[in-house]
Structure 1
Amino acid sequence: MNFQLQAIDAVVIIVFLIATIVVGLWYSRKAGTNKEEFFLAGRTLTWPLIGASLFATNISTQQFVGQGGLAYSIGIGACFFQLLGAVATMLLGLVFAPRFLRMRLYTLPQFMEERFSPGIRAFLSGFSIVTMAIAGLSGVLYSGAIIMQRVFNLESTFSLYISVVVLAVTAALYTLAGGLKSVVITDFIQNAVLLLGGLAILIFALIYASHMPDGLAGMWYLKEVAADGRIFSKWSLFRPYDHAIIPWFGLITGGLIVAINGHCTSQDYLQRCLGAKNIYHASMGSLFASLLKVVAVFLIGVPGVIAAYIFQGQNVVPDQAFTALIIKILPAGITGLVLAALIASIMSSVDSVLAACSSLYTVDFYLKKHKNIDEKKYVSVGRITMVVVMLIGILWIPVISSFSHLYVYFQQFISYIAPPIFTVYLFGLFYKRANHVGAMATLILGTAMGAFVFFLTSIKNMAVITFAEVAFMRNLLMGIHNFFPAWLTGMNFLYGCFYHFLFCVAAMLTFSHLTPPPPIEKQEAAKRNDKGGFDNETPYASRNVKIMTAAFIVALIAVFIAFS
């Protein structure tokens, strides 16, 4: 489908990009003065900024392209991941953020040193940097480049990488200059554009569908035909326990583990809460973001299903369905707004990963070895780290391209790295008997197992897609695949995540109880309370948090009922 970008669309996109960069640079003026200002925005963030930034960070082109593409294939059930993330974000605000805020942390691995040992801190920090680069940054850049290719009619692999570099450099400009403050302020703007763009897609998709031969009524009869021949409504969130992609039991076990790990123990997400003025703002911001994530079901999942209705009988690749929908249904001007929204989603996710990785390396590695240098040096090191992480993310893109569903790649990858990290944080916060031996054993054994199973479950895709034209590699990979039993190589990643988590729990308990208990100060680390003004809550804080929590729960139940 040929597409010609109109002048008004180009103007909208250019104005948005310039405005974002200018605003980001404007708020970067004080960022280079000290590490607290650069990495935590001076701990001055209020809840609307935190909530908008959390939402904008989480809703990237992985969701628009990947989750929207999955909804195109299997239906609204693809958004179950979104709703699990909303639940996890609520837990962030009510359980995790208050604990971490009272410790006055810069990074989450700092807590791991206080609770376990410096080795655990170094492991988690380094591991987080690598995984954010190859799972988060690469996925966002690749999905964004797919959109750029389609919109500008670029077909070559070279053009893909040019698109990736353009997207990465644009987001890096203001992030390098201003740190977290610039990131959060620009995220607030990008959040507004995201919501407007998503709403525009929903409205115009419904209008277009209403003019189809069967009208809107025909849309409600869309069916997913599973690989085994079973038929399900594309408007139902729920699938049987043995569904290939979204089995209900796998979602509420492995899916919930992934969601809590990603939203409650990930530096790129928690960094906003660590920069909050107080616990009230961190909690309210998280709850605000959880509400927005429920709304995202209608901005991402519903248009994805409508795309399946509009493109019936057409050979549209799932990860290109959302872009194809934009090209087909939107008028000039509105197209520019929606493309600006997609670019906003890319930039907000890229800047978050860069800011988080910068904090992790500078605070958890560089600062430990260079304690008596000028604080401006820390900021410089943070900026260099951002550049290195950006390069790692770009170089990992060929691996991502081997997956037929981008969002499935992301969920599958995270499913095999989340259990050991989640287990260590969970036991560190809530189980005093856990010690550094148990934590290290869990991280080493759990990570090794996760990498092994991820390799086995993705090896066939690599053989038939990435190395399709390289006979030696293709045959080698298929030989390895065929050597192992089908139940292992074909295991659903959500169930794999749950079994992996049980293995990690067993490792933590076994090694912790085979070795001496941790010292009392280690056991009490989770209760440390360096208040420093964090408990000076605003009037009616408790009431407002309860109201926001109730609003979220009502909205969540309403969505489950509507798409049951």
Structure 2
Amino acid sequence: MELSTLDYSFIVVFFSIILGIGIYVSKKSGKNSTEFFLSGRTMPWWLLGLSMVATTFSTDTPNLVTDIVRTNGVSGNWVWWCFLITGMLTVFVYAKLWRKSNVNTDLEFYEMRYGGKPASFLRKFRAVYLGGLFNIITMASVTLAAIKIGGIMLGLEPWQTVVGAGLITVTFSALGGFKGVVYTDFLLFFVAMSGAIGAAYYLVNIPEVGGITALMANENVSEKLAILPDFSDRKALITLLIIPLAVQWWSSWYPGAEPGGGGYIAQRMLAAKDENHAIGATFFFNIMHYALRPWPWILVALASLVVYPDIASIATAFPNIEESKLGHDLAYSAMLTKLPSGLLGVVLASLIAAYMSTISTQLNWGSSYIVFDFYKRQVNPDATEKQMVAVGRLSTVLLMVLSALFALTLQNAFEVFDLLIQFGAGTGLVFILRWFWWRINAWSEITAMFASGILVITLAKTSLGDILFDPATGVFPDWANYPFIVVVTTAIWMLVTLMTKPESDKTLRGFYRKTQPGGPGWSKVVRKAKDENVNILEHNDKWSVPSGITAMLLGVGLIYSIMFATGYWIYGKTTSALILTGVSVIAAFLLIKAWNRMKGNLL
């Protein structure tokens, strides 16, 4: 595919601005580690919210959504739509707690909440496990998408895409630190959103597709349109809706959707000016992430079913693509090759923007773990601010190189998504309860983490998986694999929790005094402290969590109704769209009232 001078102009100007921002903020970002990783904790809610959205606007997400839609229809997206519940819980319950903790990374939490060698091990191990291994896997998935886009749209070899896409990203990330990431995210969001919407509008109206009405009526598309799975298809209903909504959202750890907050979402909450800005940022992010953004990708995925109905048709149209890289996720890139000059440049710039935003965030976040939670904690406790920034920049480059090399071995974005979901199965409840139940200890988290990983590997690599979940001969139906891991993992860590000693009074009281979580799960600790004339209560206000859960449910209803109303307006189903629009207005009104009632307690 040939790019015009106009297309190249868009891309060159875009690259120049991004590098300029990184260079501009590099001096201030390199002043100390807090500036480099948290921008001095001075960020406003709207900038952090846009940064969260831009970060999750990665190059692999359109490919993942396309793969899901082509394989399981629009309703297949419940595998990630369910995480909205997690997001709303973070907004109205956990955002204020994270900001109150005032830690540099969410892993520093471990040695505030727990004590002794288990807490130290947990912090250091997860710094390498999450900041290194999981981070590299996630970035490799994003880079894989860039490889497929480069191969389809520009005919590039995988190594050429990796070098070209990674070089500029790692340069401005290493120079600009967190402030450079957030400032560039502001620009990257608007570029990425404009490209996605522009591409969807144009591609739905190309002659091969024939417009939105013809698209909806096409025999390859009509059976894929349902927002809810077919209730008569028991397996689809269980795997696409019941398990995600009943189990997956609270039980699984997944980057960007950690139960109770965590990862780069926690990093942005910790960088906020105050608790109010932390809450506002996460709420704004969830609205944009779920309610508005998916539909341009879904429309392109549906249109691709008309133009490229199967993988064989993609292979025929693009014979230069390696067989190992062929999959339904390629259809998104294949559709983009049909864009005209000018719009093509904008869309390519938007894809580059999506890649750079996600990778730069992952690099800075992963590097923060390595610096604060491993290097300073384990290697050099007396490290100066200058040394910590230097290690941060070096680890940024190293993470980029390792993820790029791993990306060259991957084939499919959905495989990576499924792997991450499986490895996090059963751990989520620990992250939710550790704030509100004093009995949770470091061994609870260590056990959950290892039990989940060992179970996944055992079921995948031994005959036990076939004995239990083989579709033809297994003891359980194959859809029960994930719930099985959740139930067994949860049972194991709960048993270990009750068999091991609780954290010391000193540790528990210090944590409570700093974060003020409240609730019946801490009543024993508060009562014992009071009996010993130790004051750990800042105030006697009513516990805010019940009001937070009410607001969470209203927020979930608001965002789902907006998201589905948008879909039905696109489908031309006016009655359903009007009803859902009305529901969203009512939910918004009730949420505002609930928020005003709880605001005093929350803030």
Is this a same-fold pair by TM over 0.5? yes
TM-score (norm 1): 0.82
1:60-139 correspondence runs (5 A): 60-116=58-114, 117-139=119-141
1:422 equivalent among 428, 435, 441 = 428
1:165-204 correspondence runs (5 A): 165-204=163-202
In the alignment, what sits opposite 2:204?
A: 206
CA shift, 1:78, in A, is: 3.8
2:301 equivalent among 299, 304, 315 = 304
1:503-560 superposed Cα distances (whole Å, 9 cap, x missing partner): 22212221111222222234346534379xxx9xxxxxxxxxx999967743421433
Q: Distance in 2 between matches of 1:7 and 1:394?
A: 29
In the alignment, what sits opposite 2:563?
A: 559
TM-score (norm 2): 0.77
2:21 equivalent among 17, 20, 23 = 23
Q: Distance in 2 between matches of 1:312 and 1:450?
A: 33
Deviates more, 1:267-276 or 1:436-445: 436-445
Q: Distance in 2 between matches of 1:298 and 1:436?
A: 41
- 1:135 and 1:223, CA in 2 relative to 1: closer, same or farther beyond 3 A? farther
Instruction: Give the SS at the match of 2:306.
Output: helix
- 1:323 and 1:549, CA in 2 relative to 1: closer, same or farther beyond 3 A? same
Q: Distance in 1 between matches of 2:461 and 2:218?
A: 34
1:438-478 superposed Cα distances (whole Å, 9 cap, x missing partner): 3322222222213333556xxxxxxxxxxxxxxxxxxxxxx
Q: Which letter maps to 2:68?
A: L
Deviates more, 1:21-30 or 1:249-258: 249-258
Structure 1 portions without partners, runs of 5+: 226-230, 457-478, 536-545
Which structure has the larger Rg over C-alpha atoms?
Answer: 2
Matching of residue 247 in structure 1 with residue 231 in structure 2: no
In the alignment, what sits opposite 2:328?
A: 318
Q: Distance in 2 between matches of 1:218 and 1:552?
A: 33
Q: Distance in 2 between matches of 1:382 and 1:47?
A: 25
2:497 equivalent among 498, 512, 517 = 512
- 1:525 and 1:312, CA in 2 relative to 1: closer, same or farther beyond 3 A? same
Alpha carbons 1:288, 1:548 under 8 Å: kept: no
CA shift, 1:337, in A, is: 0.4
2:275 equivalent among 268, 279, 282 = 279
1:498 equivalent among 480, 483, 486 = 483
In the alignment, what sits opposite 1:147?
A: 149
Q: Which letter maps to 2:470?
A: A
Q: Which letter maps to 1:342?
A: L
- 1:285 and 1:296, CA in 2 relative to 1: closer, same or farther beyond 3 A? same
- 1:439 and 1:79, CA in 2 relative to 1: closer, same or farther beyond 3 A? closer
Q: Which letter maps to 1:250?
A: I
In the alignment, what sits opposite 1:338?
A: 347
Q: Distance in 2 between matches of 1:440 and 1:40?
A: 27
Alpha carbons 2:107, 2:127 under 8 Å: kept: yes
Deviates more, 1:185-194 or 1:238-247: 238-247
Q: Distance in 2 between matches of 1:219 and 1:195?
A: 22
1:263 equivalent among 235, 250, 257 = 257
Q: Which letter maps to 2:86?
A: A
- 1:365 and 1:358, CA in 2 relative to 1: closer, same or farther beyond 3 A? same
Alpha carbons 1:222, 1:233 under 8 Å: kept: no
CA shift, 1:324, in A, is: 1.4
Deviates more, 1:313-322 or 1:57-66: 313-322
Count of matched residue positions in the alignment of Structure 1 and Structure 2: 513
Structure with bigger RCO (C-alpha 8 Å, 6+ apart): 1
Q: Distance in 2 between matches of 1:258 and 1:224?
A: 33
Instruction: Give the SS at the match of 2:12.
Output: helix
Matching of residue 11 in structure 1 with residue 14 in structure 2: no
